[in-house]
Amino acid sequence: MADSTERQVAEHYAARGGALERAILEALAAAGADPDRLAPADLAPVDEFHIGGRQATMDLAAQLDLRPGMHLLDVGSGLGGASRYFAQDHGCRVTGIDLTEEFVRVAETLARRTGLADRVSYRWGSALSLPFAPASFDGATMLHVGMNIADKRTLFAEVRRVLRPGGVFAIYDVMREAAVSEEPRFPLPWAADAGASFLETAADYRRLLEAAGFAVRAERGRRDFAIAFFRRLRAETVRRGGPPPLGLHLVMGPAAQQKIANVADALERGLIVPTEIVCRAA
């Protein structure tokens, strides 16, 4: 299914060696939640693996005119946090696809535990060869995925192929600041080294999206939002004397604090900017 780069990316995210589900359930119990009676919001500290977490998902969704019954594709769905939010709060039906097999298995388990298994489903596969028929979806989302994909031309062409005409495609990715060539320090949440990190500028994204048959409707850089998010996270970690029981450190593994420090540093130095791009299929 995967080439060497995709295998490297999948292995990077499988940091817990198959123990992620157990770690999440134990952390939920430690945080006072009942793992057998979960609401999607209970999981937000761990299953929204992008800068700004649940708030960033909500901010993106607010621009999409989501309606009950819409069938969305979530590209790089991870543990399924965004997909379950779209299903629970907007009544959408969501299909997620992810390169990391463990993420898919855990996402399916969490969907059952939140009572959403009839509205969300997950597939293991590559975004460069989507296993879906043309015009299968009303819309698509992609949150913090493009940084791991060098061939964005094929990525966007595949998303366009499976969208119906007029379908919305919403991206929230970490992008390179224009005219900046310096690489952030590694490791980062999405890559242990430069071999699996493929940062592009927002202008690059627009050019490739338009070439794939999308019309860009909105773009917003979220650097200030991201810096504030990491400052709050750092202050809360100091106040607690460490991370909370349930958090993204469970997903990122032993190097979590270094990954977080490096991405925050890159933001502060103006090397990267989390950016939303919303477009529609022509």
Q: Which residues of 193-214 are buried (b: 16+ CB within 10 A; e: fewer)?
A: eeebbbbbbbeebeebbeebbb
Three-state secondary structure call for residue 199: coil
Separation of CA 111 from chain center:
17
Show Cβ contacts of residue 203 under 8 Å, excluding neighbours closer than 6 positions. Answer: 178
Could you list the pLDDT tens digit for every one of the 282 residues in the chain? 457 899 999 989 986 667 999 999 999 999 899 998 899 999 999 999 999 999 999 999 999 999 999 999 999 999 999 999 999 999 999 999 999 999 999 999 999 999 999 999 999 999 999 999 999 999 999 999 999 999 999 999 999 999 999 999 999 999 999 888 899 999 999 999 999 999 999 999 999 999 999 999 999 999 999 999 999 999 999 999 999 999 999 999 999 999 999 999 999 999 999 999 999 999
What local confidence, expressed as pLDDT, does residue 241 receive? 94
Give domain limits for the chain: 4-281
User: DSSP for 103-114?
Assistant: HHHHHHHHHHHT
Domain 4-281 class in CATH: alpha beta
Asked whether the whole model's pTM tops 0.85, one would answer: yes
What local confidence, expressed as pLDDT, does residue 200 receive? 97
- Six-digit token string for 46: 């761990």
What local confidence, expressed as pLDDT, does residue 4 receive? 86
What is the Cα–Cα distance from 236 to 113, expressed in whole angstroms? 28
